[in-house]
């Protein structure tokens, strides 16, 4: 039995992580699954700092293989904002709708050809022995003029990935999982897991 603790409370993210992790663990549990009431303050200035803090906090408590994902949206016309502040962009208690509305308001005078953006995902994995591994994925695209679609989570209804004319929320989750920032970070992580576990999956 190989167990992975995932240091996230975000259900949309957790769902994707469970789909992307592959067969290296036969039990994947998130902070929501085991109902731990812990509030990790994400005060780092980079995705790397925050992912490391989330992973270390949970590993230190449980001493089991732990994965953390810190991610966000960088908008060119806003100088890379909201970036590491993506989750708290419209305040601590705000909803995904509030964050989308704030971003669209800030971009209301920005024409279509200047609405470039990218999603970033940094994964930090800590193995049973406490060794730390980090991978990153980037997905380029642009910000739509209005929200569209019901799939996914977060900013998905306003992000149109390069090569497509639909938002992540309009695309099938399987397509998002082939091209997203998170899937790219997982491609690299799975190479590392393959080495750690000698290609042995639990399938
Ligand atoms: O539309 C989206 N599609 C994605 O694929 C995606 N990945 C991240 N995000 C957004 O970026 C912030 C992450 O912040 P974040 O890494 O701190 O996560 P979080 O605070 O939600 O949960 P936790 O993992 O920290 O518990 C949150 O606002 C997410 O909505 C995404 N939005
Ligand atoms: Mg967070």
Ligand 2 centroid to Cα of residue 113, in Å, is 30
Task: Check residue 199 and give its pLDDT.
Answer: 63
CB atoms within 10 A of CB 107: 19
DSSP state letter for 102: H
Please report the pLDDT score of residue 36 as a whole number. Answer: 80
Pull the structure tokens for residue 45.
């200035």
CA of 73 from ligand 1 middle (Å) equals 9
- Mark the residues whose beta carbon lies below 5 A from ion ligand 2: 42, 87
Burial degree of 156 (CB within 10 A; 0-12, 13-18, 19+)? buried
Question: Which ligand has the minimum distance to the alpha carbon of residue 71?
Answer: 1
Cα–Cα distance between 166 and 195 in angstroms, integer?
A: 37
Closest CA to 86 of 28, 167, 143, 23: 143
Q: Is the CB of 10 under 6 A from ligand 1?
A: yes
CA distance 78 to 80: 5
Query: Which domains does the chain possess?
Result: 3-196 (3.90.950.10)
52 neighbors 132 (Cβ within 8 angstroms): yes
In short, whether 74's Cβ falls inside 6 Å of ligand 1 is: no
Partner residues linked to 178 by β-bridges? none
Per-residue pLDDT of the chain (203 residues; tens, 9 = 90+): 799 999 999 999 999 999 999 889 989 999 988 878 899 999 999 999 999 999 999 999 999 999 999 999 999 999 999 999 999 999 989 999 999 999 999 999 999 999 999 999 999 999 999 999 999 999 999 999 999 999 999 999 999 999 999 999 999 999 999 999 999 999 999 999 999 987 656 65
- Residue 201 CA to ligand 2 center (angstroms) comes to 29
For ligand 1, mutation pick of 40, 72, 103 (most atoms within 8 Å of CB): 72
What pLDDT was estimated at residue 35?
Answer: 74
Nearest CA to ligand 1 atom 10: 72
Ligand 1 neighbour 86 (Cβ under 6 A): yes
Q: Does the pTM of the predicted model rise above 0.90? A: yes
Q: Given this model, what pLDDT does residue 201 score?
A: 62
The reply to whether 25 sits in an annotated binding site is: no
ipTM of the complex: 0.97
200 CA to middle of ligand 1, Å?
Answer: 30
- The confidence score (pLDDT) of residue 195 equals 93
The residues annotated as belonging to the active site are 70
Assess whether the C-beta atom of 8 lies below 6 angstroms from ligand 1: yes
167 lines ligand 1 (CB under 6 A): no
CA distance linking residue 177 with residue 166, whole number of Å: 15
């Amino acid at each position: 039995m190989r167990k992975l603790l995932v240091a996230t409370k975000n259900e949309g993210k957790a769902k994707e992580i469970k789909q992307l992790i592959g067969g290296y663990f036969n039990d994947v549990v998130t902070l929501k699954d085991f109902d731990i009431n812990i509030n990790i303050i994400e005060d780092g200035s980079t995705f790397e700092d925050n992912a490391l803090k989330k992973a270390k906090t949970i590993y230190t408590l449980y001493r089991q293989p732990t994965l953390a994902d810190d991610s966000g949206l960088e908008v060119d016309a806003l100088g890379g904002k909201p970036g590491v502040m993506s989750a708290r962009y419209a305040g601590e208690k705000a909803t995904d709708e509030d964050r989308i509305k704030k971003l669209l308001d800030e971009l209301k005078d920005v024409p279509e050809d200047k609405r470039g953006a990218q999603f970033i995902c940094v994964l930090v994995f800590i193995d049973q022995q406490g060794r730390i591994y980090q991978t990153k994925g980037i997905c380029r695209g642009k910000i739509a003029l209005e929200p569209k679609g019901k799939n996914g989570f977060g900013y998905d209804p306003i992000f149109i990935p390069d090569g497509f004319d639909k938002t992540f929320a309009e695309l099938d989750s399987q397509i998002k999982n082939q091209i997203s920032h998170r899937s790219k970070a997982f491609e690299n992580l799975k190479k590392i897991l393959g080495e750690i576990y000698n290609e042995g999956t639990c399938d």
